Amino acid sequence: MSFDQKNIVVAGGSSGIGLALVKKLVAEGAKVYVISRNPGNELPENVTHITYDVTSASIDFAAQLPEQIHGFVYSVGSINLKPIQRITREDFLNDFTLNVLGAVTLIQQSLKALKAAENASIVLFSTVAARTGMGFHTSIAASKGAIEGFALSLAAELVSSKIRVNAIAPSLTNTPLAQHLLNTDEKQEAANKRHPLGKFGQPEDMAAAAKFLLSGESSWITGQVIGVDGGLSVLRPL
């Protein structure tokens, strides 16, 4: 199996996209370490759960990781949609702390183990709204725009260590995070219609892209932001 003997860390692996990815990786033989505040009740057996609030800068979890990490995924994030008159400085700071600084802290603490593994891969999550203007998305678009810039700069910095860094930019995906946007038949129908491919996303769509970016099959891809969005960001069908 392609992930046999591979150690993969998935921050946010207890729910939604991260959980779908964890299930795929475990099925392919990976040893998976999940970081989140709670393990939830869906993690497969043999996954190591590390309890950690990524908004806290003070916890040191590096000692709980293996000596080599072949893949690191940051699948933690928020959807905090408000009109510009109502969104606060605190909203922006909270979104930045969760979406960006959490990733920075965890990657810093994982770096030694990532370097120790040959050809490691880091996968981050942006959003379609970082590059496609969408009302009420100012704060999350600002944070995810920052993640895209971070991903590119980090990819350049780590290329000499043969560590690849890429980001996925999803559109609306059926996870607990997006539940409030998909909790009626009307909302689901409208969401389906908004996407050129005629449907909103499923966690497995994002997990498949993340698994590809972690695998050797993407070994010549780094510094990219890949839209997995049913065509929303680029297509205007007639």
Is residue 14 at the binding interface for ligand NAP, with CB under 6 A as the rule?
yes
CA–CA dist 85, 73 (Å, integer): 34
Q: How far is the CB of 201 from ligand NAP (least distance, A)?
A: 7
Pairs from 51-59 (Cβ < 8 Å, separation ≥ 24): 54/11, 54/98, 54/102, 54/103, 54/105, 54/106, 55/94, 55/97, 55/98, 55/101, 55/102, 57/101, 57/105
Q: How far is the CB of 212 from ligand NAP (least distance, A)?
A: 16
Task: Point out the residue whose Cβ comes nearest to ligand NAP.
Answer: 77
Residues 80, 121, 175, 222: which binds ligand NAP (CB under 6 A)? 175
Residues 7, 8, 9, 16: which binds ligand NAP (CB under 6 A)? 16
Q: How far is the CB of 160 from ligand NAP (least distance, A)?
A: 27
Is residue 12 at the binding interface for ligand NAP, with CB under 6 A as the rule?
yes
* Closer residue to ligand NAP, CB minimum distance, 18 or 230: 18
Residues 44, 176, 198, 216: which binds ligand NAP (CB under 6 A)? 176
Span 72-91, contacts to ligand NAP by CB under 6 A:
75-77
Q: How far is the CB of 224 from ligand NAP (least distance, A)?
A: 16
Is residue 139 at the binding interface for ligand NAP, with CB under 6 A as the rule?
no
Classify residue 234 as left (phi > 0), alpha (psi -120 to 50) or beta.
Answer: alpha
Query: Do 82 and 25 form a contact (C-beta atoms < 8 A)?
Result: no
Is residue 109 at the binding interface for ligand NAP, with CB under 6 A as the rule?
no
Is residue 118 at the binding interface for ligand NAP, with CB under 6 A as the rule?
no
The span of 31-39, 65-73, 155-163, 213-221 binding ligand NAP (CB under 6 A) equals 31-39
* Site for ligand NAP, rule CB under 6 A: 12-18, 36-38, 52-55, 75-77, 98, 125, 127, 170, 172-173, 175-178
